[in-house]
């Protein structure tokens, strides 16, 4: 499934028409193929990215309908006069699309437990990207990004718990049986920490359930498929199954942290 983004559409229009203005119907007739290309790009724009104000949304719907109707009538052999309203409508649609973002924070997940607004938006954008990748069949992107979101959420959860109860992380680290050197409890961003260690300590501190901990084991394994050697060695690759498992794990991490923080 192909996708386009607002910046791509705006860039396309700027290359052809430079700036939005009430184009004369003669210009639209000369560039009728380009106008058709604009409609194709708009049709590939994910619905979750179309989030203007109610007034701008009404303008966009009317403008796209006008452009589509006018060009359809012209294709049917009607007079070029049917293109008279297409130029101004194209300009109106262009101006609204310029206000859209290429990504939006997830609205399907309650991340209110993250008190840092910048971090909340950043993680929300990544979760939204996981949803978009799933919808478009981008299995590798969904698999890897879902694992990354899990790690970011667990890191935040542990940092939040430590702020509320200093010394908690050290207690959690001490309770884990490490096969090798234990992680550094004084610095949660130290290189010794990874998704495995975040998962183990978060489980010890009851930030996540046992079921979620087990799911994170699979998500962690799938996330490592970013390394070509693992893919070749184990003869597995990211597919719909790995994407759905990783995205489902992410759902449970969000749910557990929302309940336990």
Domain of 200, CATH number, reads 1.20.120
Are 38 and 153 members of one domain? no
The closest alpha carbon to 130, from 99, 108, 114, belongs to 108
Tokens coding 110:
């309650």
The answer to whether residues 48 and 90 belong to one domain is: yes
56 and 153: one domain?
Answer: no
One domain for residues 59 and 184? no
Q: For the CA atoms of 183, 187, 190, 193, what is the dihedral angle to 10 degrees?
A: 40
What span, in angstroms and rounded, lies between the C-alpha atoms of 221 and 258? 25
Estimate the share of the chain in helix, then strand, then coil, as percent rounded to the nearest 5.
70, 0, 30
Do 122 and 70 sit in the same domain of this protein? no
Domain that holds residue 11: 6-97
Domain count, the chain: 2
**pLDDT reported for residue 135:** 80
Residue 108 lies in a domain: no
Residues 133 and 235 in one domain: yes
Give the number of C-alpha atoms closer than 13 A to the C-alpha of residue 129, restricted to the C-beta side: 20
> Is position 1 within any domain?
no
Query: Cβ–Cβ contacts within 10 Å for residue 157, how many?
Result: 24
Task: Please state whether the predicted TM-score (pTM) of the whole model is above 0.75.
Answer: no
Measure the CA–CA gap between 205 and 174, rounded to whole angstroms. Answer: 11
Q: Report pLDDT for 246.
A: 95
**47 & 142 share domain:** no
106: in domain: no
Q: Is the domain of 165 the same as that of 54?
A: no
Tell me what pLDDT residue 259 has: 94
Residue 241 is assigned to a structural domain of this protein: yes
- The rounded distance, in Å, linking the Cα atoms of 216 and 210 is 10
| Rounded distance between C-alpha atoms, residue 199 and residue 183, angstroms | 12
Q: Give the pLDDT of residue 96.
A: 97
Domain boundary among 43, 62, 97: 97
Is 112 contained in some domain?
no
SS3 118: helix
Last residue of a domain, one of 97, 128, 152: 97
Residues 78 and 131 in one domain: no
* Whether residue 166 is found in the same domain as residue 198: yes
Q: How far is Cα 207 from Cα 15, in angstroms, rounded to an integer?
A: 51
141 and 231 belong to one structural domain: yes
Whether 1 and 41 have beta carbons less than 8 Å apart is answered as no
Kindly give the confidence (pLDDT) of every residue in the chain, 261 residues in length, as a single tens digit, with 9 standing for 90 and above. 578 899 999 999 999 999 999 999 899 999 999 999 999 999 999 887 888 899 999 999 999 999 999 999 999 987 888 999 999 999 999 999 999 988 765 555 788 899 998 898 889 889 988 988 888 889 999 999 999 999 999 999 999 999 999 999 999 999 999 988 899 999 999 999 999 999 999 999 999 999 999 999 999 998 887 777 666 677 778 899 999 999 999 999 999 999 998
- pLDDT value at position 106? 55
Same domain, 41 and 134: no
Distances (CA, A) of 136 to 97, 104, 193: 21, 16, 32
Residue 132 has what pLDDT? Answer: 83
């Amino acid at each position: 499934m192909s996708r386009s983004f607002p910046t791509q559409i705006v860039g396309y229009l700027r290359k052809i028409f430079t700036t939005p203005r009430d184009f004369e119907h003669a210009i639209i007739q000369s560039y009728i193929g380009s106008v058709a290309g604009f409609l194709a790009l708009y049709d590939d724009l994910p619905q979750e990215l179309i989030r203007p104000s109610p007034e701008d949304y009404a303008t966009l719907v009317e403008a796209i309908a006008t452009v589509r109707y006018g060009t359809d009538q012209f294709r049917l052999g009607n007079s070029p006069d049917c293109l008279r309203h297409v130029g101004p409508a194209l300009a109106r649609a262009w101006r609204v699309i310029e206000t859209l973002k290429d990504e939006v924070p997830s609205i399907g997940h309650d991340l209110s437990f993250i008190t840092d607004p910048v971090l909340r938006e950043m993680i929300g954008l990544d979760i939204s990207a996981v949803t978009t990748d799933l919808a478009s069949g981008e299995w590798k992107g969904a698999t890897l990004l879902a694992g990354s979101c899990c790690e970011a959420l667990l890191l935040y959860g542990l940092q939040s718990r430590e702020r509320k109860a200093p010394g908690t992380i050290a207690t959690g680290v001490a309770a884990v049986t490490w096969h090798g050197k234990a992680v550094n409890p004084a610095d949660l961003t130290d290189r010794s920490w990874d998704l495995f260690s975040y998962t183990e300590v978060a489980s010890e501190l009851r930030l996540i359930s046992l079921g979620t901990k087990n799911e994170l084991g699979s998500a962690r394994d799938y996330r490592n498929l970013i390394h070509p050697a693992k893919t070749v060695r184990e003869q597995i690759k990211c597919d719909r199954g790995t994407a759905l498992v990783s995205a489902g794990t992410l759902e449970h991490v969000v749910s557990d942290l929302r309940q336990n923080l």
